[in-house]
Amino acid sequence: MPQTIKAVTFDLWDTLIEDESDEPKRKAGGLRTKPEERPHLVWEALNRQAPVSRDDVDLAYRVADAAFINLWKRHSVTWTIADRIDVVLQGLQQTLPDAEREALIAAIGAMEVDIPPDPISGVADALEDLSRRYKLAIVSDTIVTPGSGLRDLLDKHGLKQFFSAFAFSDEVGRSKPHRAMFDAAASQLAVDVTEMVHVGDRDHNDVRGPQALGMKAVLFTATRDNDKDTTSADAVCPDYDSLIVAIDAMAAEGGMETGT
């Protein structure tokens, strides 16, 4: 049966924003990489209380990262920054005063807002075009930067204005491809989940996940094309021009109902 398309949901990293495009900016400014800076901030915070081994902090941070990835990949849950810091502190058998802990959490969460990665070329024009015909939403896992910071990042780039809904995993409580993420967006947009097309760069999370819910899905390969040869996507798009064409074609097949 043809599907009416009323809304388009977007992954964020490597779909709207080029992941790690902030690292050259950090290097040019003489700053540590993000993977180096995060445990360094933990070490600094602890060292202000009492001397602590940097090697021990680095190890505890790596162990917490590994536990995070396992939980994310196997159980569709992304810890908040606070959760991860608490795991690091537990591993070190250390504590921080509340104010110091909150400042540390805020500093780690702000790194990609203070020195923002770049939007993918052409994204603003594409979103403006699509927003004339469809409701738009973000459905994104929060790996380090929380949903509040990602809203700020989108706003900095002039992209937040195009979206009517946001489903971030730290706020929903589950991560892609769990149904709760897509249901959260559908509920905010007042559409059925099957009336949405999802766009993202990872086949498992962004294609197979939504397809299992009866949605259409587009694999977007502008900056990451690892899955293009094995994807089950309804369309594979290397740029925003082809993405617009693909979404409009899907809508036409189902008898398009615009969401605006």
Print the domain residue range for 179: 7-19+118-254
Tell me, rounded to whole angstroms, the distance of Cα 251 from its chain centroid: 25
155 in the same domain as 34? no
27 in the same domain as 13? no
Average pLDDT over residues 179-196: 98
29 in the same domain as 14? no
CB atoms within 10 A of CB 219: 26
Range 20-23, long-range pairs (CB < 8 A, 24+ positions): 20/117, 21/117, 21/118, 22/112, 22/115, 22/116, 22/117, 22/118
Model pTM greater than 0.85?
Answer: yes
Cα within 13 Å of Cα(57), Cβ side: 20
- Does residue 108 contact residue 6 with C-beta atoms inside 8 Å? no
246 in the same domain as 172? yes
Average pLDDT over residues 98-121: 98
12 in the same domain as 28? no
Whether 219 is covered by a domain: the verdict is: yes
Whether 43 is covered by a domain: the verdict is: yes
Whether 141 is covered by a domain: the verdict is: yes
pLDDT value for 256: 46
130 in the same domain as 218? yes
- Reported as a pLDDT band with limits 50, 70 and 90, residue 258 is very low
Whether 177 is covered by a domain: the verdict is: yes
Average pLDDT over residues 118-130: 98
Q: Does the pLDDT of residue 183 top 70, yes or no?
A: yes
From 114, 140, 161, the end of a domain falls on 114
Average pLDDT over residues 1-14: 89
209 in the same domain as 157? yes
Q: Does the pLDDT of residue 1 top 60, yes or no?
A: no
pLDDT value for 44: 98
Least confident range from 29-43, 101-115, 229-243, 246-260: namely 246-260
pLDDT digits (tens, 9 = 90+) for 25-46: 999 999 999 999 999 999 999 9
From 114, 147, 173, the end of a domain falls on 114
CATH of the domain at 174: 3.40.50.1000
Whether 260 is covered by a domain: the verdict is: no
Whether 1 is covered by a domain: the verdict is: no
Whether 248 is covered by a domain: the verdict is: yes
Q: Does the pLDDT of residue 259 top 50, yes or no?
A: no
Percentage of the chain modeled with pLDDT above 90: 95
Percentage of the chain modeled with pLDDT above 70: 97
What's the domain count of the chain?
2
User: Could you tell me where the beta strands, DSSP code E, fall in 116-211?
Assistant: 135-140, 165-168, 196-200
184 in the same domain as 106? no
pLDDT value for 253: 87
94 in the same domain as 222? no
154 in the same domain as 103? no
Q: If you write DSSP's letter for every residue of 23-72 in order, what string do you get?
A: HHHHHHTTPPPHHHHHHHHHHHHHHTTS---HHHHHHHHHHHHHHHHHHH
Amino acid residing at 48: R
Q: Quote the mean pLDDT of the chain.
A: 95
14 in the same domain as 142? yes
CB atoms within 10 A of CB 126: 19
Whether 259 is covered by a domain: the verdict is: no
204 in the same domain as 88? no
CA distances (Å), origin 177, targets 7, 19, 65, 193, 213: 18, 19, 20, 13, 10
From 72, 94, 114, the end of a domain falls on 114
Average pLDDT over residues 141-152: 97
The sheet with strand 165-168 has its strands ordered as 165-168, 135-140, 7-10, 196-200, 216-220, 235-237
